[in-house]
Structure 1
Amino acid sequence: MSLLDAPGDLSRTPLAAVLVEARERHASGVLEIAHGGGTSRLWFHDGAPVGAQVFVGFRPLGHMLLAAGVIDIDALSLSLVRMAETRRPHGEILVAMGAASREQVEHALEEQQAGYVAQLAALPAGPFAFEASAAVPEWTRAGLLSPLRVLADALAAPQAADLVSVTLRAAEAGAKLADVYADAEPELARGLAAAERRLVARLAAPLPLDAYLAASEVPP
């Protein structure tokens, strides 16, 4: 049975395994994770994680931009008033006010979303269930998450150690980027450093694992 077809728990099934399953099935919907007395959500579209909301550790966009020195407290206060009046997204209001550039807002939102997914990947436990019938929110269409960056961060979590170990043992004779990933190469490059992109490109053809790791510019 697929990991997406029945409820599970992160104490037994790491988020990385769910991400791989969703990718292979081109799943769309929402993964709901119960923890900290509430529910966090990770939305998928066609197998890719596209947006997250967390119950614990929420980082408002305005506070992130304030902490980064992009806006001041007066701009934050005024933008919050306008957001309450118009119900428009906070980022759009800040850009319209001239308080922040679109690039600054997008960068902060990408950082916010990546942080949320990292929090979920680090959870040691938590019941989860995937709901394929759930509508994917419009705001996720902005493409704030890099699917491969999300998977890499999830695999780096302690909970995924066994999954990584099994995968590396299976790949000792040689490794190659699976077709489901190779077909989405432009998408994979998003969110990766230059050294990481070069490593992904080297997997276009089968390569012995020892040779691949020996030439790695990225820490294990």
Structure 2
Amino acid sequence: MHIVIMGCGRVGAMLATGLEKRGHSVGVIDQNPEAFRRLGNEFKGLTVEGIGFDREVLEAAGIRRADAFAAVSSGDNSNILSARVVRENYHVDNVVARIYDQGRAEVFERLGIPTVATVKWTVTQMLRRLLPSGSQPVWSDPTGDARLMQVHVHNGWVGRRISELSAAADAPIPFVLRVGRGIVPDRDTIYQDGDLIYVACYTERVDELETLFAAAPGRN
């Protein structure tokens, strides 16, 4: 995968180096060229000075071949604007923006742009959104036989009941993370764009369930 990151503060630098260590190519954008020092001498990805919603800057960072985009600069407006430009003009589906104002996060979720608002788990949640397949279990039992997995769900499932997702997986979905808050779904809870679902399953079924939810309903 090629992933473009706007913002090379501590979060952006940690994301970039973490993704590169996982074998992905990375392009990093920042207005301050001094910020790229945080990447270290071993970083092999692209570094582009400029504004993240400037098309020339985005293209220099490889947005036309990008599989994902993360906006993690220090400005909410810049992050949202960049995310919308990437989503709407370059048709990159896997886009996430960091938002400092928790109260505004839900508004931006309604625009179809998943957001991460809590600083404490920003890097972990960004990585899980950018690299949904093969993500590490949230919890596993001492034997390794059973686990709780955060599973990426294709947008084709939006509007379906969580109970339908659970039935399709033949596995319980004990809770959902929505706009930074955990909810315990009931039979009428609807899966919304940007939701993160957690599936309890046996380890041997992880690949099967990720494959199921990586596609729209009826395409497996």
- TM-score, normalised to structure 2's length? 0.25
Which structure would you say has the larger RCO, counting Cα contacts within 8 Å and 6 or more residues apart?
Answer: 1
Structure of greater Rg: 1
In terms of fraction of residues, the more strand-rich structure is 2
Q: Taking structure 1 as the reference length, what is the TM-score of the superposition?
A: 0.25
Structure with greater proportional helix content:
1
